[in-house]
Amino acid sequence: MFSDWMTAVEASRLAEALRSSVWAYPLVNAGHILGVALLVGGTVPLGLRLLGVWRATPLDPLRRVLARSTDAGLLAAVLFGLLLFIARASAYVQSPVFVAKMLVLAGGIADTLILRIIAARWAARGGAAGGRTPVSLRAAAGVSLAVWPAVLILGRLIGYF
Amino acid sequence: MRSSHRFTLRWAAVLVTVAAVFLPQLSWAHHGWGWATDEEFEITGRIVDVRLGNPHGELTVESGGELWVVEVGQPWRNRNAGLTESVLARGVTITAHGHRSAREAERLVKAERLVIDGRSYNLYPDRES
């Protein structure tokens, strides 16, 4: 049944239009990469800062800016990624690399939600003024530093395996 | 001038020189498809399946009792070479000139040029094929 859905999605007018387009598909591809760039470009500096790199730089303004651009990046990556996906849905779901990427992506989103909840609670308690970054927040930051570059790498590998 | 300006200018001069030396050579640089071998390869067979469009167009070709996948171009490239859906139809016999997969057991070819019914369709006019 699942494979029937994939075939149906692949046969849609939108998917057919993307496959036969000269400009749309490559631009959608570029949009996906732009989203990934904002996503990784936001999570890596913030993750490092939470682990103590650039300690002299105030955390709060940095966090506020990067959380926004990271969210925009994730949204763009997911929307454009969905368009790329439907063009070849059946082949992608059978690719172990693609499936791995989706699992790691899900982990990354979960980690982001957990990280933000921990950070919000810490801020409510006084935040950085109160003392060291909580271990739980540093752990979540460490996970994000592993997960988002891994999503990027897996995405690149799809075309090679 | 300030020493930081001199430093920047010196590095800019180095970069411009390097670019001027290497960029003109790009037009002669041969780079192919990383997964394929460097040698020119040729295969003749009958098209049994056609799947054109982004991200890559593919023909399934029966040759010597085996099924091969011949990668052709994306929409613009195919159109440029004159390869339309009516030309690449099931049952048509083609000769594909290009590069085969470096993996011995993999029946996959990247087509640079197709010959169909005596006529040549060049997907990559800048490349030898």
Which member of A20, A87, A160 has the closest CB to residue B55? A87
Q: Do A18 and B76 touch (CB under 8 A)?
A: no
Give the chain A residue nearest B57 (alpha carbons).
Answer: A19
Q: What is the pLDDT of residue B75?
A: 95
Query: Does ipTM top 0.85?
Result: no
So what's the pLDDT on residue B27?
Answer: 53
Residue-averaged pLDDT of chain A: 95
Q: Which of A37, A28, A68, A52 is nearest to A148 (CA)?
A: A37
Fold of the B41-122 domain: OB fold (Dihydrolipoamide Acetyltransferase, E2P) (2.40.50)
Instruction: Say yes or no for a CB contact (<8 Å) between B55 and A160.
Output: no
* B52: contact with A, CB 8 A cutoff: yes
Average pLDDT over residues A48-69: 95
For residue A20, the distance in angstroms to the closest alpha carbon of chain B comes to 5
How far apart (Å, rounded) are the C-alpha atoms in residues A40 and B77? 33
Q: pLDDT, tens digit, for every residue of A115-155? A: 999 999 999 998 888 778 999 999 999 999 999 999 999 99
Of A18, A159, A160, the CB nearest to B54: A18
pLDDT of res. B26? 61
Contact B21, B43 (CB under 8 A): no
pLDDT in tens, B41-88: 999 999 999 999 999 899 999 999 999 999 999 999 999 999 999 999
Residues A9 and B53: their CA atoms lie apart, in Å, by: 16
Residue A82 · residue A32 · CB < 8 Å? no
Question: What proportion of chain A, given as a percentage, has pLDDT over 70?
Answer: 100
pLDDT for position B20: 85
User: Mutate which of B54, B76, B84 to disrupt the A interface (most A C-beta within 10 Å)?
Assistant: B54
Q: What residue ranges do the domains of chain B occupy?
A: 1-30, 41-122
Token pair belonging to A76: 């763009």
Note whether A22 contacts B52, CB cutoff 8 Å: no
Q: Is the pLDDT of residue B115 over 60?
A: yes
B16-50 pLDDT, tens digit per residue, is: 988 888 776 665 555 668 889 999 999 999 999 99
Written as six digits, the tokens of A36 are 């990934």
| Cβ–Cβ gap B54/A26 under 8 Å | yes
Mean pLDDT of A59-72: 96
